[in-house]
Amino acid sequence: MEQTGRIIKSISGFYDVLDDETEELVRTRARGNFRKRKIKPLVGDKVKFDSTGDLGYILEILPRENSLVRPPIANIDQAIVVTSSAEPNFSSNLLDKILVNIEHNDIEPLIYLTKADLLNDEQYATLKVTLNGYHEVGYQVFLDRDSYNEQQVADLEKTFTDKVTVFTGQSGAGKSTLLNHIDKELGLATAAISQTLNRGKHTTRQVSLFDISDGLVADTPGFSSIDLMDITPEELPTLFPEFLRYSGQCQFRGCRHVNEPNCKVKEELAEGNIMQSRYDNYLYFLNEINSYKKRY
């Protein structure tokens, strides 16, 4: 009998599938022809499977909306970008680079500020202005000074409902601490990972999805590679939501918003309706992408 479900855990060739109808976990294997066709099921994959015997079989992987290599996971709806205020210091360049990568993968980013209690009042007020700018761009931002207060963590959990969520952000930003406040098991899982990773660089990590607030949350702190290798100069301006808002009014289709005449994005920048730091980072990334092209 053919059923549908989602893989929520993979462990040495077995896949635990959450049945859409019964909401029960079924242990399955992938059919032999998957290997021949070089198809590897990923955690997060929606699948058709048959569970008539003792062990179920995955018959087909349904089309993926997106997938990441590190961590190996498919069909992600949102990514929580954990952003440190201090130790390591806030960097708009790094934040924008992560956001661009997430947008490129068709995942919705949310920004979660940590360690704001290490700033003095003036520093916090300045950072708040910057992060409110991201809120105006359309990103959901969690920026309480007390990063892990119960209300804010509960508000974050509300965004998990009916979604698959991953976490990302620079090392030391406080991802594990945040995961711990959400669910102790997640925090424990990530602590075990860091120890394993420190022992051997090539340890493959199985990802699992935990059921939290009627959604599924990955137990892994996020993507490791933050470069722009897969992004073209044509795609980059489309990954800044505030540029998209105005680019239809630029004189040229496919305007890069650099030196072109009658560029609406540059007009809005001059009016103060686009953050200067975001535009500067855009030019910096465009330069980086063009330099890759020259090297290859």
Q: Can you say which residues are annotated as belonging to the binding site for GTP? A: 114-117, 169-177
- Contact yes or no for 207/218 (Cβ under 8 A): yes
Instruction: Provide the CA 150 distance to its chain's centre, in angstroms.
Output: 23
Angle separating helix axes 276-295 and 121-137, nearest 10 degrees: 70
DSSP letter string over 85-113?
A: STTTTP-HHHHHHHHHHHHHTT-EEEEEE
The b/e string for 261-272 (b: 16+ C-beta within 10 A; e otherwise) is: eebbbbebbeee
Residues of the binding site: 114-117, 169-177, 250, 255, 257, 263
- Contact yes or no for 113/170 (Cβ under 8 A): no
Residues of the binding site for Zn(2+): 250, 255, 257, 263
**Long-range pairs, 53-60, Cβ under 8 A, ≥24:** 55/27, 55/28, 55/29, 56/17, 56/26, 56/27, 56/28, 56/29, 57/28, 57/29, 57/30, 57/31, 58/7, 58/15, 58/17, 58/28, 58/29, 58/30, 58/31, 58/34, 59/2, 59/31
In whole angstroms, give the CA distance from residue 37 to residue 60: 12
CA angle (127 as vertex; 121, 128 as ends), nearest 5: 85
Peptide bond into 261 cis (omega under 30): no
User: Three-state DSSP class for 119?
Assistant: coil
In whole angstroms, give the CA distance from residue 101 to residue 85: 21
